[in-house]
Amino acid sequence: MSVVEIKDVAKRFDGGTVALEGIELAIEEREFVSLIGPSGCGKSTLLRIIGDLIRPTAGTVRVNGKPAAQARTDRDYGIIFQDAVLYDWRTIARNISLPLELARWNRRRRNERVQEMLRLVELTGFEGHYPWQLSGGMQQRVSIARALSFDPSLLLMDEPFGALDEMTRERLNLELLRIWEASGSTVVFVTHSIAEAVFLSTRVVVMSPRPGRISHVIPIDLPYPRTAAIREDPHFFELVTNVREALHLGSDLDRKPAAPAAAEAQP
C-alpha cells in the first residue's frame, strides 16, 4: 500500500487559475520524494492538498489508504514550512510539545518525548529558550522536532531550508537525511534547488507550470547514507544535469523564447 496515492487531481482557484491538472503520483513507504519546478507550477499547492490544508477541485488523495481529511484528523503527517512558525510565547520545549498537548499526551510522556526530540535535532539544553533567541537554522530544527514529535508516518516539507544560507542549508540537508533514516518516515519535500532535491531524494518529481503538471519523475540511485562527498561525485552531477534538463524541457520559456527576450537579443 502506498503512503500517498494521488489520482487525477486538479485544482482550480476561485479566480479561474488552473494550479494543477491531471496529477498522478504514488509514494511508497520510506521514500523521500522531492517536488521541484519553477514558481507557479503548483508544487506547494500539491503538498497542501496531500495534507488536506486545501481541497482539490477534482480527483482523490489517499494517505495511508485513507482519504486525506481522515489522515489529517488521525495526525498521520507532520508539516514543516519555509518559516519555522514557532509560537513566540512558548519556550522551545513547549513548542515541540504543542502537538502532543493537542493529542492529549500526559505531562510525563510529553517531557520524555521533548527530550528525545531535542537529542534528535541536537538542541539539548535549549528547551528553556524562546524562539527569538535562536538562529534561523536552529529554529527550523525545532520545527522539524515539533513535526516529528508525535511520530507521524509522513513528513510534508514546504521549502523548509529556502530562507537559510547555503552553508546552514547543506548542514541541515545532512541532518535531515540522518533524521529521516532514524525515524523511518516517508518524506514529501518541496524545493527550488536542483542540487538539494538530488542530494536528498529517492525520486525527484519535476513539475511544469500553467497548468501545473508532473512532467518527469527521475529516480535517484545514489546510495544511502549520503555524505557531503556525494556532492562531488560525477554521477551526482549527471543526475543534477538530468533534473535540470527535465526542468527546462517542461518550461515554456525554453521551448519558445518570450518576445521581449528575443527583441533584446537583436541589436
Q: Which of 221, 218, 216 is nearest to 236 (CA)?
A: 221
By CB under 8 A, how many residues form the interface with another protein?
A: 31
CA gyration radius for the chain?
A: 19
Nearer to another protein, 90 or 210 (CB): 90
Three-state DSSP at 188 gives strand
User: Which of 7, 13, 22, 87 lies at the binding interface for another protein (CB under 8 A)?
Assistant: 87
Q: Does 89 bind another protein (CB under 8 A)?
A: yes
Q: Does 211 bind another protein (CB under 8 A)?
A: no
User: Which of 85, 217, 228, 258 lies at the binding interface for another protein (CB under 8 A)?
Assistant: 85
Residues 145-174 that bind another protein (CB under 8 A): 150
Nearer to another protein, 37 or 137 (CB): 137
Q: Does 262 bind another protein (CB under 8 A)?
A: no
Q: Does 134 bind another protein (CB under 8 A)?
A: yes
Grid coordinates 507532520 are at which residue?
A: 78
- Do residues 78 and 156 make contact, with C-beta atoms less than 8 angstroms apart? yes
Min dist CB 132 to another protein, Å, is 3
Q: Which residues pair with 155 in a beta bridge?
A: 78, 187
Binding-residue pattern over the window 44 to 83 for another protein, x denoting contact by CB under 8 A: ----x--xxx------------------xxxx-xxx-x-x
Q: Does 129 bind another protein (CB under 8 A)?
A: yes
Q: What residues contact residue 196 under an 8 Å CB cut-off, 6+ apart?
A: 34, 161, 169, 173
HSE-up of residue 13 (Cα within 13 Å, Cβ side):
12
Min dist CB 185 to another protein, Å, is 14
Instruction: Order across the sheet with 203-208: list the strands.
Output: 77-80, 154-158, 186-191, 32-36, 203-208, 213-219
Q: Which residues bind another protein (CB under 8 A)?
A: 48, 51-53, 72-75, 77-79, 81, 83, 85, 87-90, 98-99, 101-103, 129-135, 150
